[in-house]
């Protein structure tokens, strides 16, 4: 091989080796989670630790899926996350349209408020939310979670939707408006249907934030039938003893929605993840 080709081959081997070494460290915990979910609880800390167990079983999964209390955690998480996603999208479409297509008094300050609201610490809002939800009799309801989650999903969604609408030529909706149709028609009939890719990105991101939320779910709900998956996983710790295999099975079940979204919508997923820091 000529020196240049050899050099290239060596560099390629180096890059591959580095990637593989990193991948082992990154992926091992995930593999271990899956492996542990198929073990029986006494086997979890057996020495030496085994990747493939003799007593491979789905027992941990069936235990969870047969327990109505634990199934309820999943139902709650889906109800809350899907509601937050739908409401956030509708409100963000309206707001994004106003920011993208109109000039009005107060636009810049409002814009800056929306950007900075994202930095308000959840812990600061938690205490008044607790008081507020008790006063409004929303404590320990879906509404308490849905409303408070929207405060954290909405700013980002508005910013994303405004950016997306800005990439669409104004002529599109102007043409409809010239024909005498109102702004609402222009927005919902013309802009929204061609903004599906943007909506998917925002929707996935919103769903993920709502699905993963922990602090408000911990504090604004009380009874087991209102708990979401992240709290459910925590409740498995130290109920009687630590049911590690069940915790791992529940974790696997808990990350399936996000994993599925990622696998099927990878492009939109990454688009939503990187949109703000990277500008085209």
Partner 1 sequence: MRTSTQAAPRQSPWRGLARRPARPWARRVEPYLFLSPTVLLMLVLMLVPIVMVIGYSLMDRVIMTKDSRYAGLVNYVDVLTNPVFWTAVRNTTFFTGVSVVAHLVLGMGFALLLNSPLLGNATKAIFRVIYILPWLFTVAIIAVLWRLLLNPNGVVNHLLQGAGLVDEKVEWLASTSTALYAVTFVNIWSGYPFYMMSLLAGLQGIPRDLYEAAVVDGAGGWQRFAHVTLPQLRPIIVSIAMLDVIFTTQQFALIWMTTGGGPINVTEMLSTFTYKLAFSKYDFATASASAVIIFGFSMVLAFFYVRHQKARD
Which region among 55-63, 64-72, 188-196, 228-236 touches partner 1 (by CB under 8 A)?
Answer: 228-236
Judged by CB under 8 A, does residue 156 bind partner 1? yes
d(CA 169, CA 160): 16
Judged by CB under 8 A, does residue 132 bind partner 1? yes
Q: Residues 175 to 194: which contact partner 1 by CB under 8 A?
A: 183
Dihedral sign, CA of 165, 170, 176, 179? positive
We find the least distance from the C-beta atom of residue 3 to partner 1, in angstroms, to be 16
| Residue number, 50 or 57, with CB nearest to partner 1 | 50
Are the C-beta atoms of residues 91 and 154 closer than 8 Å to each other? yes
Q: Residues 40 to 99: which contact partner 1 by CB under 8 A?
A: 44-45, 47-49, 90-92, 94-99
| Residue number, 44 or 71, with CB nearest to partner 1 | 44
Are the C-beta atoms of residues 223 and 197 closer than 8 Å to each other? no
Judged by CB under 8 A, does residue 238 bind partner 1? no
Judged by CB under 8 A, does residue 265 bind partner 1? no
90-94 long-range Cβ contacts below 8 angstroms, 24+ apart:
91/150, 91/154, 91/157, 91/158, 92/154, 92/157, 92/158, 92/160, 92/161, 92/202, 93/161, 93/187, 93/192, 93/195, 93/199, 94/187
Tokens 């669409």 correspond to what residue? 168
Which region among 19-27, 54-62, 78-86, 190-198 touches partner 1 (by CB under 8 A)?
Answer: 19-27
Judged by CB under 8 A, does residue 206 bind partner 1? no
We find the least distance from the C-beta atom of residue 58 to partner 1, in angstroms, to be 19
């Amino acid at each position: 091989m000529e020196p240049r080709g050899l050099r290239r081959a060596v560099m390629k081997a180096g890059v591959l080796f580095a990637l593989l070494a990193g991948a082992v460290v990154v992926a091992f915990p995930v593999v271990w989670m899956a492996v542990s979910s198929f073990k029986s609880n006494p086997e979890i800390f057996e020495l030496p630790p085994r990747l493939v167990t003799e007593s491979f079983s789905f027992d941990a999964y069936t235990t969870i899926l047969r327990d109505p209390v634990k199934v309820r955690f999943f139902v709650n998480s889906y109800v809350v996350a899907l509601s937050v996603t739908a409401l956030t999208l509708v409100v963000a479409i309206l707001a994004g349209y106003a920011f993208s297509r109109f000039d009005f008094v107060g636009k810049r300050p409002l814009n800056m408020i929306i950007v900075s609201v994202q930095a308000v610490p959840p812990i600061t809002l938690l205490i008044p939310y607790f008081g507020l939800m008790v006063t409004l009799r929303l404590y320990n309801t879906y509404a308490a979670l849905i409303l408070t989650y929207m405060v954290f999903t909405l700013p980002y969604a508005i910013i994303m939707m405004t950016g997306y609408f800005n990439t669409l030529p104004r002529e599109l909706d102007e043409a409809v408006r010239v024909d005498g149709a109102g702004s609402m028609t222009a927005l919902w009939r013309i802009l929204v249907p061609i903004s599906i890719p943007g909506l998917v990105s925002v929707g996935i991101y919103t769903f993920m934030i709502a699905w993963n939320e922990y602090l408000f779910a911990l504090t604004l709900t009380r009874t087991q039938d209102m708990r979401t998956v992240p709290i459910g996983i925590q409740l498995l710790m130290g109920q009687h003893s630590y049911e590690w295999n069940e915790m791992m099975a529940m974790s696997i079940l808990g990350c399936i929605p996000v994993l599925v979204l990622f696998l099927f919508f990878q492009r939109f997923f990454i688009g939503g993840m990187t949109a703000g820091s990277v500008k085209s």
